[in-house]
Amino acid sequence: MRKTVIFLLVVALGLESSSSDHHQPYRTAFHFQPPQNWMNDPNGPMYYNGVYHNFYQHNPKGPLFSNQMHWAHSVSYDLINWIHLDLAITPTEHFDINSCWSGSATILPGNKPVMLYTGIDSQFRQVQNLAVPKDLSDPYLREWVKYTGNPIISLPDGIQPDDFRDPTTTWIAEDGKWRTIVGSQKDKTGIAFLYHSDDFINWTRSDSPLHMVEDTGIWECPDFFPVWIDSTNGVDTSVTASNEHVMFVLKMGLLDHSKDYYLIGNYDYEKELYVPQNDLTLSTLRYDYGKYYGSKSFFDPVKNRRILMAWVNESDSEADTIAKGWAGIQSFPRSIWLDKDQKQLMQWPIEEIEMLFKNEVSSHNMKLEGGSLHEVQGITASQADVRIAFNLTNLEEAEILGENWIDPQVVCSEKDASYRGKFGAFGLLALASHDLTEQTAIFFRVFQNNGRFVVIMCSDQSRSSTKNGIDKMSFGAFVDINPQQEEISLRTLIDHSIVESFGGGGKTCITARVYPTLAIGEEARLFAFNNGTESVVISKLSAWSVKKAQMNVEETIGCADQ
């Protein structure tokens, strides 16, 4: 099995980071980011012949967004350690001379990978192009060749030149035809245009879009894939629509709000119609209720799962970005599947993170009185994976959630971690300074509403940094659990400037970017806390230091076969 020598060295030496470089305190240890400059959307992730590929939008000339975007490329054997390669697709031809924008990978019969991507052509129109690997015997697929007949899909009539982009991974239906969707809008109506092809070269637009919704604006980075209704396993994109054991997810990025929303429903390929079970509104389901956009999923045949990654942008100023010399990281890869109630997706960090675990600490059945803290010691608090579960009693004492509090983000903003309710705030204080001047609070509140209990999860960045001029917005979302019948659980990945949190076993996810000035490296501390007036019980707390992954290794170091 082919492995890189450098990966073996990492394992042998146990390389890790207990403190970050104070010149670059916000670079991450186990979240993917390029060596320097700008990065945004993940593009064309795939597994091919033993290697995972991660392409991404990149400006190789600086840390700010550019009108000359490229496809950068890294590869991995485990989705944790990454080898940095040369640029894969660059703006060179009339059909992409003004940028190579996002797209997707498909593995064709005969085990042949292809890419569809959006090019900004010489007339600044968004068109869809095809590229293939130059040499299939190259395990890293370093070089990509553009089809000379590009564009294969031109701008539709009546659509503005800059409103047509980001083709999805294709799928093949029972009629043997390939299909893809492309995001668009017309008169503020968001559109998923559907195209089909017999040969992957000649594409015809269907008479009707796969789906469209008024007043949602441009749909970016759409994704369309099946999910099992009775399994946590992933599903290959081309599993037939007639399979009664699958439903279909349609995800769209709403540029006007910089958020990824998704729908769950049924797909009738004969009628070319997608029927969601929920409407698309600003309260519709989202992958993540924090900083999380431009996401892309792919089917991993190695472990029979669907993996999701997304762009997590910066919250600091342009001046800070220029000073750092880089911008943008990617979320830690997540497995996703349909919840057993078929109402939403579940998300969980991929199991490979355990390769990096060190120094586990744990506690059980610990009572936290109102207004108390418990410091989690024995781990590296700036690089950690923390799992905690709370049990609550006397819930009949919970506060009433008034009708004016229907937006959980408003609740989290106006009732921050310092506000003492009956049940809440309780949760974690991540990247905290010794005196708590700096802290990123991830916490829950429990309310009563119309005879049932409502759980709200918050990520409070208001005191995350002493720096001024940065975005310290708080985030919030409902967690669909009944605290009378189950524990309230929280898992949080902490990595210097990113805090990814998973509530209710992965039902609700919130990602935050933070820039502490005091809680850096070894100065960072971690606490479980309860600021409610009622006590809570930590039924179990487990935490690990997370070692530094090997990131951006130059592939010229050399390889060995084993």
Rounded Cα–Cα distance for residues 124 and 186 (Å): 18
Rounded to 10 degrees, the C-alpha dihedral 14/19/24/28 comes to: 50
Q: Residue 519, preceding bond cis, omega within 30 degrees?
A: no
Indicate the DSSP class of residue 389: E
Hunting for tokens 């939403």 — which residue is that?
344
SS3 content of the chain, % helix, strand, coil (to 5): 5, 45, 50
SS3 285: coil
Tokens at 345, concatenated: 């997706």
Rounded Cα–Cα distance for residues 70 and 100 (Å): 5
> What is the sign, positive or negative, of the torsion defined by CA atoms of 494, 495, 498, 500?
negative
Hunting for tokens 């593009």 — which residue is that?
43
Give me the catalytic one of 21, 41, 256, 435: 41
Tokens at 285, concatenated: 């389901």
Q: Residue 34, preceding bond cis, omega within 30 degrees?
A: no
> What is the sign, positive or negative, of the torsion defined by CA atoms of 548, 554, 559, 562?
positive
SS3 341: coil
Please state, as a whole number, how many other Cβ atoms lie within 10 Å of the Cβ of residue 166.
29
Strand partners, 88: none
Rounded Cα–Cα distance for residues 462 and 474 (Å): 7
Rg of the chain taking only CA atoms, in angstroms? 23
Tokens at 523, concatenated: 């100065």
User: What is the H or E stretch that residue 221 is in?
Assistant: strand 219-228
Hunting for tokens 């299939």 — which residue is that?
136
Residues 6+ apart with CB under 8 A from 490: 386, 387, 388, 389, 390, 427, 428, 442, 444, 457, 501, 502, 503
To the query of whether residue 41 is one of the catalytic residues in this protein, the response is yes
Which residues carry out catalysis?
A: 41
